[in-house]
Amino acid sequence: MTISFLRAGVVFAAAVQAAADPSLTVRTETGIFTGLQNHDFTGVREFRNIPFAQPPVGSLRFQPPQRLPPSKQHRYSTRFPPSCPQFVSSGESFWNLFVPYLLPVNGNQNHSSGLSLQTASEDCLSLAIWTPYDVPADARLPVAFFMTGGGYQTNGVDVPGQIPAPWVNRSQEHIVVTINYRLNIFGFPNARALDNPNPAILDQRLALEWAQENIAAFGGDPESIMMWGQSAGAMSTDIHNYAFWENPIVHGSFSQSGTALAPSFSSDYSHSNFTTVAKNLGCDFPHNPTAELECMQQVPVDLMENFIGQYDGPASLSFEPIPDEKVVFSDYPARAAAGKISPRPAIISDAANEYASLYPWPSGNATAGPFQPLVNAGTLGTFICPNAKTCILRHNANVTTYRYQYAGVWPNQNPYSWLGAYHSSDLMMNFGTYFYGRTNSTRGPTALEIRTSQAMQDHILAFMKDPAGGPPAIGWNPYTYGGNVVRFGAHGVPVQNASGDAIDGPCYGEGRYHPFP
């Protein structure tokens, strides 16, 4: 049976299902969308592909996203949208060797080719929505608005380990929205002729505005949205806390393994990265920035992604957020001290051994793993210490913050003991997709693993429902330096309180860091 035949079958089945159940069709300001009932988690209704912006193609490439006009067009939202343009890794990593379910679906493409992702498309600015199946339109359920990580280079709403159907099916008390946003050179072009070098941040904001304006039609509460991101998505979430502090839209945020203080910004103020790509792809206009930009708006997507993904020049190419003093800033402590920070409560989290999965893969001795002191340095420098500083900034600004540390280590998710609670390992616990783990065992998740996942979900949901009062009601008190941190999955206990001193102390010269608590 051909792929087109299969796709036609999916659309036909969805049409039949929608005719039998009108609740699968929802009217929004930008169109009418028919979703489907999840086949594996039947308590979930999902809408897999809802555009929130005009396609960023042609003269709109590299530019801020443009709003969609009002529409009554009917669409079947039964297939995930393509991911935004990106390239697959050019070498072995923990991700492509062991956890491809935390990467976008690549159509059986080679995991280390460095080539453009064959399932991606420039017309990618869409979001997906998961709701309880029987939710009434006036339910006003809290909403988690999720932005995936991937170092600003890779992600997509179709990442299998980040599909929220298991969690929504279990709780029946919340809605999850996940989004695509532009990546690498398309999301952070930083070209000489551009006034806005960070259009991806504006993609995220426009998607959030769409959710605020339309989520009520799906049974959600537009006044109870939690912005949530992991890794690069977490850094983006915190960027929004400063960029849109006067009108945050959300009533709380969750930065999972990353904040605006993480060392992740570009310093390419000479615009050399964009110009290097342009020069090598036939757009060499050193004295005419406008011509350079217009020429690059006509270069095929795959040519750009293949060049960047396989680039082996004298200096690395990097396309990440760069301070423009509009949406990305160069001095976040100063902005916090001036009160230019969202007053909404936040969760700040990290994993105990974050950097183990980000360190160059030790292919010569994977059993022993990398030198742990270097992993500790990466964990502290990239995650723990920026998180601690962020929490102190927020405390000094009188903004409520909750903190957690993930420390779970499970046989089905850890092929090597030295990985510990690695970067992104808590994602599957949040989403309830821990059943994907089969790294070194044919066994499924343990009972403790499942209870830990449920405890994490319950804590996050308590925050979503009431960011000010929900966490304290279950024993999760606001964070102050040296104070309470909730720790998940350590010592055979799903959830327990831990000391902030033990986690953050090494950032201030107090004690040694323990990556395996």
Instruction: Read off the DSSP letter of residue 173.
Output: S
- Could you tell me how far CA 189 lies from the centroid of its own chain? 20
Task: Please tell me whether residue 412 adopts helix, strand or coil conformation.
Answer: coil
- Could you tell me how far CA 423 lies from the centroid of its own chain? 13
In degrees and rounded to multiples of 5, residue 433 shows phi and psi of -105, 25
Half-sphere exposure of 322 (CA within 13 A, CB side): 25
- Could you tell me how far CA 207 lies from the centroid of its own chain? 13
Task: Please tell me whether residue 410 adopts helix, strand or coil conformation.
Answer: coil
> Which is the catalytic residue, given 89, 231, 253, 264?
231
Closest alpha carbon to 210 in 28, 46, 465, 464: 28
> Which is the catalytic residue, given 174, 251, 271, 423?
423
* 457 contacts 499 by C-beta, under 8 angstroms: no
Task: Please tell me whether residue 36 adopts helix, strand or coil conformation.
Answer: strand
Structure tokens at 301: 């997507």
In the block, residue with structure tokens 């340095």: 377
In whole angstroms, give the CA distance from residue 57 to residue 34. 26
Whether 294 sits among the annotated catalytic residues: the reply is no
> Which is the catalytic residue, given 122, 320, 354, 449?
354
* 50 contacts 124 by C-beta, under 8 angstroms: no
Closest alpha carbon to 439 in 400, 465, 413: 413
- Transcribe 305-369 into DSSP letters: HHHHHT---SS---------SSSS-S-HHHHHHTT-S--S-EEEEEETTGGGGTSPP-TT-TTT-
Whether 231 sits among the annotated catalytic residues: the reply is yes
In whole angstroms, give the CA distance from residue 183 to residue 272. 18
In whole angstroms, give the CA distance from residue 367 to residue 386. 30
Q: Other CB atoms closer than 10 Å to residue 74's CB: what's the count?
A: 12
Closest alpha carbon to 246 in 179, 309, 338: 338
In whole angstroms, give the CA distance from residue 78 to residue 452. 32
- Could you tell me how far CA 322 lies from the centroid of its own chain? 18
In the block, residue with structure tokens 């201030």: 508
Whether 514 sits among the annotated catalytic residues: the reply is no
The residues carrying an active-site annotation are 231, 354, 423
